């Protein structure tokens, strides 16, 4: 059964995972030893399965889950000091939405757009509008929790660079 679901999932996300711009995320660090590409695949597949089980819009969940971190550049390589509310955690969802609309306009709909722009709730204070958006937001947090295994490294995710060294 999972094999059938995985093939359907791949069919849905095929236009994204074969895109040269999206493939650059294999070289963007996400959290510690995982790329943005790998993280996004995990979030996308988990959100797809959850939405499918709940008879929700699993296609939008898969697409939004894959594009939720489709921001412009590898933020961990940018060492320019920014004001608190201009830091990555506050701005990357909007960047991911802008980038997604530019590169994949044919895949955008209201749910996909809301999934992308609201996945950082409650850090970004406006909550998700759709059940699929909530699913991606929660799955994203679950998939990112392993950073807590390295408390000293967690500091970089709140803007304190001391945690950025391995």
Question: Residue 142: what pLDDT?
Answer: 86
Q: Taking residues 138-159, report their average pLDDT.
A: 67
**151 has pLDDT over 70:** no
Confidence tier at 163 by pLDDT (50, 70, 90):
very low
Global pTM value:
0.82
Alpha-carbon distance values, 47 to 58, 115, 123, 136 (Å): 8, 11, 20, 6
Give the range with max mean pLDDT: 34-48, 86-100, 147-161. 34-48
pLDDT of residue 153: 57
Residues whose CB is less than 8 angstroms from the CB of residue 116 and which lie 6 or more positions away in sequence, other chains included: 64, 67, 68, 70, 93, 96, 97, 100
Q: Scanning the structure block, which residue is given the tokens 């995972």?
A: 17
- Name the token pair of 158: 């709140």
Q: Say how many residues make up the chain.
A: 166
**Residue 162: is its pLDDT beyond 50?**
no
Between these two residues, 150 and 24, which has the higher pLDDT value?
24
Identify which of 107, 116, 139, 150 has the alpha carbon closest to the alpha carbon of residue 43: 139
Reported confidence tier of residue 30, pLDDT bands at 50, 70, 90: low
Contact (CB, 8 A) for 154 and 148: yes
Distant-in-sequence, close-in-space partners of 35: CB < 8 Å, separation ≥ 6 = 25, 26, 27, 28, 29
pLDDT for res 165: 39
What's the CA dihedral at 159, 25, 63, 12 to 10 degrees?
-160
Strand partners of residue 29: 35
Q: Can you tell me the distance from the alpha carbon of 163 to that of 147, in angstroms, rounded to the nearest whole number? A: 11
Cross-strand partners of 35:
29
pLDDT digits (tens, 9 = 90+) for 32-89: 677 889 999 999 999 999 999 999 999 999 999 999 988 766 555 555 665 654 555 5
More confidently predicted of 25 and 166: 25
């Amino acid at each position: 059964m999972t094999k059938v679901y995985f093939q359907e999932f791949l069919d849905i996300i095929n236009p994204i995972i074969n895109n040269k711009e999206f493939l650059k995320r294999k070289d963007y660090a996400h959290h510690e030893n995982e790329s943005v590409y790998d993280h996004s695949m995990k979030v996308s597949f988990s959100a797809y399965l959850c939405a499918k089980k709940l008879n929700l819009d699993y296609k939008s969940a898969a697409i939004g889950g894959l594009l939720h971190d489709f921001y412009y550049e590898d933020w961990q390589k940018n060492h320019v000091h920014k004001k608190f509310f201009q830091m990555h955690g506050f701005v990357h969802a909007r960047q991911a939405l802008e980038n997604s609309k530019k590169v994949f306009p044919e895949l955008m709909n209201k749910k996909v757009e809301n999934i992308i722009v609201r996945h950082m709730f409650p850090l970004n204070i406006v909550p998700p509008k759709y059940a699929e958006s909530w699913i991606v937001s929660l799955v994203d947090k679950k998939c990112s929790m392993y950073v807590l295994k390295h408390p000293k490294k967690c500091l970089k995710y709140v803007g304190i660079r001391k945690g950025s060294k391995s």
